[in-house]
Amino acid sequence: MLTVYLVLLLGMPSGAAIGALGSLGRPAMLWGVVMLAWWVIAKLQVRVGELHPVRQPVRFAFLLFFIVALVSFAVAMLRGQPDDQVSPAFTALIRLLSWAGVLLITIDGIRTRGDLERIVSRIGVAAGLLAALGIVQFITKSSLLDFFGLIPGITVPIMDVAERGGVARVPGTAVHPLEYATVLNAALPLVIAAAVSHGFKWQLTKSRIGWWVPVALISLSALIAVSRSAIIGFGVAAVTMIPVLPRRYRGVVIVGGIVLAAAAVVVIPGLLTTTLNLFAGASNDPSTQSRTGGLARAPGFIAASPLVGAGFGTFLPRYYIFDNEWVLVAIELGIVGVIAFGGIFVTAIWSGITARRRSTDPATRLLAYALAASVVNIAVLFAFFDGLSFPQSSGMFILIAGLCGAIEVISAAEATKVTLLEPGT
């Protein structure tokens, strides 16, 4: 179920939808709702509780966020909304249900380290293929995804490869390059962990270099993204992962990254100048000015309903585009919503760190830390765009948060020598 979700999430253009259903027709979102129904049925069939239940702070934090969103929605509807805001609000609730299905199936369905490693490996392979697609798009300056529009009943928005400073900004299968960068940078710590531990089953050759291929592809994609956010996300992934790498790998990773960056600069004309100008000329950049201007305007929007916000999904782009999910949550869900939203990040990171501290297996410890590092990366990147509004970035966040909860359960079972039962048994 999770693999199908991953394929629908990353393998199809994130703007693709079943035409008859409109904004509710995105395949990954619908599949998440199916998973929620499956989880409910499985829970209704359970006859015996777990012998050693493990606290699930991630699940609690998401439930709190869900409740805040429902309260905010109710208050917004009672307050009255323009006709064109009612439908997006209902769609936002369906997205919440879909995320709940993904999170709950991930936490309660993954019961062994083997299952966890399999889904993490599939995330790594998907991210590697997505990075490879982005590199081909960069070379051809074409999205290469037009054939999805030929599928009967599926509508796909026009996807163009934009340019910045004469250098292509590729989106992969995402709606926006920032969404694409978030997915790749969130997966990078997991792929590095697989490469270092020589685990997760997939190998390209007997020398076990297989996982270094997606590491290189993702790193190269970040370097040629012509995006401050992509480079910052790559830097966060590197800074968080290098300290926990075995010493024999640190030098290789650092030198390999420098060589890869130098090769990209030499091969791609204008890349270095454009990238340096992103940071040197940030104060005069329209996107930076929009973000800083948004921070100045945010208090005025928040003041309209500071406690529970204006309503989840009701703040449309016609009012303002903040390019900051944390600010957008503050406007739509208020102060309580920001606390609940931040709680998902904090509990996911705490679960990963707890699993690392509890486990004695080096591979499990590294994977737990990598999952926590991925959540940190997403938290940082959500400050640069409204990530929950984009299918791939929001779906990846919920999936990795669920994996953090799952590895905490698995590490607790390993520590107490308990074999977890499959759900429903």
**Token match 């936490």: residue?**
107
**Token match 């710590």: residue?**
189
State residue 202's pLDDT score: 46
Residues 183 and 382: their CA atoms lie apart, in Å, by 11
3-state helix, strand, coil split of the chain in percent (to 5) is 70, 0, 25
In a domain, 259, yes or no: yes
Task: Please list the residues that pair with 164 across neighbouring strands.
Answer: 167
* Residue 49: pLDDT over 70: no
Tally of structural domains, the chain: 1
In a domain, 89, yes or no: no
Average pLDDT, integer, range 311-326: 83
Residues 35 and 29: their CA atoms lie apart, in Å, by 10
Look at strands 162-164 and 167-169 and give their pairing. Answer: antiparallel
State residue 303's pLDDT score: 86
Max Cα distance, the chain (Å): 64
In a domain, 262, yes or no: yes
State residue 206's pLDDT score: 47
Q: What is the pLDDT of residues 129-175, one digit of tens each?
A: 999 999 998 888 888 888 888 888 888 887 777 776 666 778 889 88
Average pLDDT, integer, range 103-132: 93
Report residue 227: phi and psi, to 5°: -145, 130
In a domain, 197, yes or no: yes
Confidence grade of residue 348 (pLDDT, cut at 50, 70, 90):
very high
Q: What is the pLDDT of residues 351-401, one digit of tens each?
A: 999 999 988 888 889 999 999 999 999 999 999 888 998 999 999 999 999
In a domain, 56, yes or no: no
In a domain, 157, yes or no: yes
Residues 195 and 390: their CA atoms lie apart, in Å, by 29
Least confident of 158-162, 184-188, 322-326, 393-397: 158-162
- Residue (of 290, 347, 342) closest to 320 by Cα position: 290
SS3 assignment, position 196: helix
In a domain, 293, yes or no: yes
* Domain extent for 294: 107-412
In a domain, 55, yes or no: no
Residues 6+ apart with CB under 8 A from 88: 23, 313, 314, 316
Average pLDDT, integer, range 198-220: 69
Residues 288 and 300: their CA atoms lie apart, in Å, by 20
Confidence grade of residue 32 (pLDDT, cut at 50, 70, 90):
very high
DSSP character string of 74-110: HHHHHH---HHHHHHHHHHHHHHHHHHHHHHHHHHH-
